[in-house]
Chain A
Amino acid sequence: DAKTTQPPSMDCAEGRAANLPCNHSTISGNEYVYWYRQIHSQGPQYIIHGLKNNETNEMASLIITEDRKSSTLILPHATLRDTAVYYCIVRVAVGNQFYFGTGTSLTVIP
């Protein structure tokens, strides 16, 4: 079952950084934090994941607090195409099941 809490919706101005928070206060030491997004009418798309260090790739940055109880996904320069539902997920690295919560609906405004 989902172990994360996210705000239901957020807006962001185009070109600005979008910061999406996630609380995972019951995360275990062997659980990773994953972020996926789902653009309307498409299947979810992997964005990034991390264990305890901050991570960055071509899509986004992931900042995990030192106590690992929360994290923030950062889209550095949001575009209209980033409008989607963003899911924060925690899971152990065994098995492929992901337990998605309700996610945050991000709307990028022109």
Chain B
Amino acid sequence: KAGVTQTPRYLIKTRGQQVTLSCSPISGHRSVSWYQQTPGQGLQFLFEYFSETQRNKGNFPGRFSGRQFSNSRSEMNVSTLELGDSALYLCASSPGLAYNEQFFGPGTRLTVL
């Protein structure tokens, strides 16, 4: 079974632009969560989607948004990029809610210049 895939793996943008990141969960998994990892703040929870509905949201500004499609694939969008948005964005999937194990993808490395 293929693992979680994220595209693109690397991305360079400039301040003020917007970006869309994509995540394909493991086949059969219906829950997708997004995390941001930076050297200063560590791993921080962004949001979680299940059955195309956002179930939980972390403490991030409204510039960060996401969605999930009927095939469980998910995208996250960051608008009006700031330098501080430079980070590794990780996606994780699990079969459903309240599962013990989340399966993480390799991440998308976003650099904002």
A binding-site residues for B, Cβ under 8 Å: 32, 34, 38, 41-46, 49, 87, 93-103
Contact = CB atoms under 8 A, between A and B. Distances in A.
Given A34-B100, A100-B43, 12 more contacts: A32-B100, A43-B90, A43-B104, A46-B101, A93-B100, A94-B98, A95-B48, A96-B48, A96-B94, A96-B98, A100-B42, A101-B42
A-side binding surface: helix, strand, loop or mixed? Answer: loop
23 contacts: A32-B100, A34-B100, A42-B104, A43-B4, A43-B90, A43-B106, A44-B90, A44-B92, A46-B100, A46-B103, A87-B43, A94-B98, A95-B97, A95-B98, A96-B31, A96-B55, A96-B56, A96-B94, A97-B45, A97-B58, A98-B33, A98-B45, A100-B35
Interface residues of B, number: 27
B66 interface: no
A95 B102 CA distance: 11
Contact of A98 (B50, B55, B102): B102
A96 B99 contact: yes
Contact of A97 (B48, B100, B107): B48
Q: Lowest 9 A-B CB distances belong to which pairs? A: A43-B104, A100-B43, A46-B101, A97-B45, A97-B56, A93-B98, A95-B56, A44-B104, A96-B48
Nearest to A34: B100
Contacts of B44: 100
A44 B33 CA distance: 13
Contacts of A46: 100-103
Interface string B73-113: 00000000000000000101010011111111111000000
A56 to B, nearest CB: 15
B94 to A, nearest CB: 6
B43 A44 contact: yes
Interface string B30-70: 01010100000011110010100001101000000000000
Query: Interface centre among A41, A44, A95, A97, by most B CB within 10 Å?
Result: A97
Nearest to A44: B104
